[in-house]
A and B are shown apart, each in its own frame.
Chain A
C-alpha cells in the first residue's frame, strides 16, 4: 500500500483535520487525563520538598527551625494543599486503572478488578498508618 498517494485529476483531495490544541477540553474524560498527567509535577514537588526537609534536618535544630518557618508561609501552605489534592487525584485515578493493567490468577480464576483496586487502597491505608505512627506515636 502506498504511503503517499499521488494526487491526480481523478483522485480528489482528502480533507485532513488538525487536532485542536485544546482537544483536552472537549470532554471530561480527556480533561481528567490531562490533570492526571499534570499531577506528576506535584508528585515531583513533594519529592523535592521532602529532600529539602531531610537536608534541613541534617543541619541541626536551628536549620530545621528555619525550614519550618519557611514552610509555614501561606504561599507554601497553599502550594502544598494544591499538591496534596493532585497527589490524591493521581493515586485514586491510578488505582482505578490498575486492574486493567494487571491480570492476577488465583486457582485458575481471574481475580476480580475490585480486589486489585481494593488491595492498593489497603496498602495505601497501611502505609499511611505506619507513617502516622512513626511521626505521632513513635
Chain B
C-alpha cells in the first residue's frame, strides 16, 4: 500500500471566490491516521489557510463532521486506510450554508435545539428537603439511547427532508425532545407537543431513515420520531373518542 494519499478538499474563500472549488493535497497515509489527522497535517505543514472545525479527536465533541466521499462522517473516526488508495473527497456537511472552506453555519440548528425545550420541565418543583427525583434503571433505559447525541449534525446532513424544507425541526432536535418526553422525571410532554406535532415537527419526517444510518452514536433519531408519531396519533384518537377526556 502506498504511504501517501491524495485528498480533494473543498475550499470556499468568500473574499476571492463566489462558489466552492476543490484543492488537491498529498498527505502521509498512516495506519493510525484519520481524515482529521490528514487535515491537521495540511494545516500545519502544507497550507495554513485551510479552515475547518475540530476539538476532541475522539467522537465526543461533535465538531469535526464533514462529508467524506459523499457520506456524512465524523472525520476523527474516518480512517484514511479505509479510503485507500484514494483520492478522498472532503467537503463541508450538506444542507448547511458554508462560511468558509469546511466550516458550516449552524445557528439554525442551535435555534431548533432550544425550541424543543431540552430540559426537565416540572409542573411543580419538589422542595429541596424532599431530596432528588429518583429513577429506576428501567426508567433510565427508556431514554438513555436518545441522550447519547453529541450534536454533530451528521443526521441533518443526511436528511433530504431538511435539505428540501429548512423549516423542518430535524432529526437530532426531535430525538432530543423525545429524550426528555421519555424521562420519568419530566412533565413537559404537553408543552412540547404543540411544536413537535406541527408539520415542521414529527409530521415533516417521511421516514427516509438516513439519520439513523449517519449517526455515529447509534441514537436512532428515526425511531424516536416514528415512536412519537405513534404516540401523537394515539393521543389524537383518544381525544377524538373522548372529547371531554380526563387528562
Contacts and interface: CB of A to CB of B under 8 A. Distances in A.
A110 to B, nearest CB: 8
Contacts of B206: 33, 37
A23 B158 CA distance: 11
Contacts of A114: none
Interface in B1-49: 12, 14-15, 19-20
Contacts of B15: 12
Contacts of B12: 15
Contacts of B210: 29-30
A76 interface: no
B159 to A, nearest CB: 11
A16 B111 contact: no
Which of B12, B160, B213, B227 has the most CB atoms of chain A within a 10 A radius of its CB? B160
Contact of A1 (B19, B70, B111): B111
Interface in B46-81: 70
A94 B117 CA distance: 31
B242 interface: no
Interface residues of B, number: 34
Interface string B83-122: 0000000000011011110000101001100000000000
Contact of B207 (A16, A23, A97): A97
Nearest to B182: A103
A102 to B, nearest CB: 7
Interface stretch (B126-134, B183-191, B193-201, B218-226): B218-226
Contacts of A133: none
Contacts of A100: 209, 212, 220, 222-223, 226
Nearest to A108: B138
B217 interface: no
A29 B209 contact: yes
B140 interface: no
A8 interface: no
A19 B164 contact: yes
Interface of A: 1-3, 5, 12-17, 19, 23-24, 26-27, 29-30, 33, 37, 97, 100-103, 108
19 contacts: A3-B111, A14-B14, A14-B99, A16-B98, A17-B98, A23-B160, A23-B163, A23-B164, A27-B70, A29-B213, A30-B208, A33-B160, A37-B206, A97-B209, A100-B212, A100-B220, A101-B227, A101-B230, A108-B138
Given A19-B164, A103-B227, 6 more contacts: A12-B15, A15-B12, A15-B14, A27-B70, A29-B213, A30-B210
List 7 A-B pairs, minimum CB-CB distance, nearest first: A101-B226, A12-B14, A14-B97, A19-B163, A100-B223, A15-B98, A33-B208
